[in-house]
Chains A and B, each alone.
Chain A
Amino acid sequence: MRTATTASPAAFRAGRAKAIRLGDYSIRVRGRTIAALAAILVALAGAVAWTVSTGSFPLAPDRLWAALNGAATPAEEFIVWRIRLPRLATALAVGACLGLSGAIFQTLTRNPLGSPDILGLTQGASSGALVAIVFLSGASTTVVAGSAAVGALGAGLVIYLLTRGTDPSGYRLVLIGIGVSAILAGVNGYLLTRSDIIDASRAVFWLTGDLSDRNWDQAATVASVLVVGGIAAAVLARGLEAMRLGEATATGLGVDVGSTRVAALITASVLAAGGVAVSGPLAFVALAAPHIAARLTRSGRSFIGAMLVGALLVTAADAAAVSGIGERQLPTGVVTGVVGGVYLMWLLVIHRKKGVMS
């Protein structure tokens, strides 16, 4: 039944978004999003403090402060400036890259499973790294990382070529990605059987994903990938958001759907490649971060939220890995894998109860 209406600005404002306007310019913000982002930042600050102060050489807050200000012993300064801070910076940048990459892929495929892990980019990076480790025995970390990046981008290119000019629905992208992923898993298994025992153990360690012994150069490389990818994502965000209404509706609204899709695929692939190349495949970060961010902000999209949650997940997982079980440190990927796996199962249980999955 229709009801008589008066133009009711109050009812309209129930959309909860507010605009901040300055002359011709305006941005739109939601209180809930701001509050959620602030909470994530607080948690992130806690994880950062935990990371730099714990480990096999615990630092009390005053010693940490002294080390940061260059007033501590050489040993303390070495630990903070040469070991923990580069590792922390790498963890933050890798997590942000993976979270943002996952958020773009999920928006693009309109599928909650759309992530570089499922689409085959992570497997591609693994293939690249394995080729370097196995065939260039004793290859430097830089060469392995470069080869991994090439592998991830190669997988992205294959997916693009296979989905180009066909029905561009999200399902097709995901199914082709799963196929590419399966083929590359076979290739990776083959490469492992070809390797000698030293290379094989190095390969397996790489395949688990780890952040130990990272230096400032690696942190700077991932950070620059993050900056470039972040700017591209900011430019693409509005178009991608419109594409969530379907390709046809987005076209009607004036989105150049074809070029937005290609640009988003490139951006997400570069971000995933940059992150995975340096850290190895940190399982589930790219998949889980956007879901957690969406749940916290209660809006389907939040690229910034996904970046922050990704950074939080990797930093916290790395801190937990360093703390280890008993005396033994764990590879970071073991922690993200366990935590992410549990989260995914929890999400699926919730999904079954509520019948929705954002």
Chain B
Amino acid sequence: MTGPSYSSASVAEGPNRGPAGATEGAPSPLFAEDATLGYGRVAISEGLTVEVPEGEFTVIIGPNACGKSTLLKALARMLKPAAGRVVLDGKDIHSQPTRAVARRLGLLPQSPIAPDGITVADLVARGRYPHQGILKQWSAEDERVVGEAMEATDVTDLASRGVDELSGGQRQRVWIAMVLAQQTPLLLLDEPTTYLDITHQMEVLDLCGKLHRSGRTLVAVLHDLNQAARYATHLIAMRDGAVVAEGAPAEIVTAEAVEKVFDLPCRIIEDPETATPLVIPRA
């Protein structure tokens, strides 16, 4: 981790940055700097500067088409900025070998594809790809790490089951196990709760919280503002391709901010379970 020649600029530009003592001054392992992001000639974001604070559970929220998934794709090097850059460990992410990046940063995309008939253990083992080679196909270390990843996500008992037999929640835990087997300090999750029912959403978010507490830096795109406020330690709110607010949920989730981001008149009360902000739309 190199010294942050960047942080002064990005902190100054980031509006409403919460005081968040834990992140103050800590070098960010991953950030976008003055990035123009888009597809073809359509720009979604211009001059976007966002940093992922180390050790936090960052959740990106915002209305549909606000550019949150686009930002995540750029941070995961799936989308190359048309201008500006994304920096991982002090270097442009696109200048680094993609396999080396895969040992630092794990990604769970929105709709991964499980090959027909693959077993849970085999799928999780795919996460070892960046640590393997044509003559290093399955080391004792690979076996140990895959076992640990399955245990951490509570899928060990499913090891020999076919992935296509599992429930949506189990399947998502298996995919997370695969990304964990990559052994990366940074995890990026693109809408990990989409298509799941409420129980399984909570299950996946609890797992994310557990992974965060075990020392990983997480970034997730979520749709549900209340879930984001409950689980995130750092929120990034986007609208029209720009960051509107960022900081700790308790600091930035205010009625005015929610109205500004989502056009939703609302009241904020305290979540009786977790004391985090709870957004109640006005009747």
Contacts and interface: CB of A to CB of B under 8 A. Distances in A.
A245 B139 CA distance: 22
Contact of B117 (A252, A253, A300): A300
A255 B151 contact: no
Contact of B137 (A14, A26, A254): A26
A56 to B, nearest CB: 46
Contacts of A25: 135-136
Contacts of B179: 252
B176 to A, nearest CB: 12
Given A7-B156, A245-B114, A253 B122 contact: no
Contacts of A234: 134
Contacts of B143: 12, 19
A129 B272 CA distance: 77
Interface in B79-107: 98-103, 105-107
B201 interface: no
Interface string B147-164: 110110010110110000
Interface stretch (B124-132, B224-232, B238-246, B255-263): B124-132
A242 B137 CA distance: 13
Nearest to B77: A251
Contact of A251 (B76, B138, B140): B76
A15 B100 CA distance: 27
B98 A11 contact: no
Contact of A2 (B105, B130, B154): B154
Contacts of A246: 109, 111-113
Interface in A1-58: 2-3, 5-9, 11-15, 17, 19, 21, 24-28
Interface string A297-321: 0101000000000000000000000
Contacts of A21: 138-140
Contacts of B110: 248
A253 B102 contact: yes
Contact of B115 (A5, A14, A245, A248): A245
Contacts of B113: 110, 244-246, 249
B52 interface: no
Interface in A243-298: 244-246, 248-249, 251-256, 298
Contacts of B146: 12
Interface residues of A, number: 43
A238 interface: yes
Contacts of B137: 19, 26-28
B119 interface: yes
Nearest to A165: B40
B147 A7 contact: yes
A197 interface: no
A356 interface: yes
Contacts of A356: 116-117
Interface of A: 2-3, 5-9, 11-15, 17, 19, 21, 24-28, 110, 234-235, 237-238, 241-242, 244-246, 248-249, 251-256, 298, 300, 356-358
Given A19-B137, A245-B126, A252-B105, 8 more contacts: A14-B160, A15-B122, A15-B159, A27-B137, A245-B114, A252-B108, A256-B98, A300-B116
24 contacts: A5-B151, A5-B157, A9-B147, A11-B160, A12-B121, A12-B150, A19-B138, A19-B139, A26-B138, A27-B138, A28-B137, A234-B134, A244-B115, A248-B107, A248-B109, A248-B112, A249-B113, A251-B98, A252-B76, A252-B107, A254-B103, A254-B129, A255-B129, A357-B116
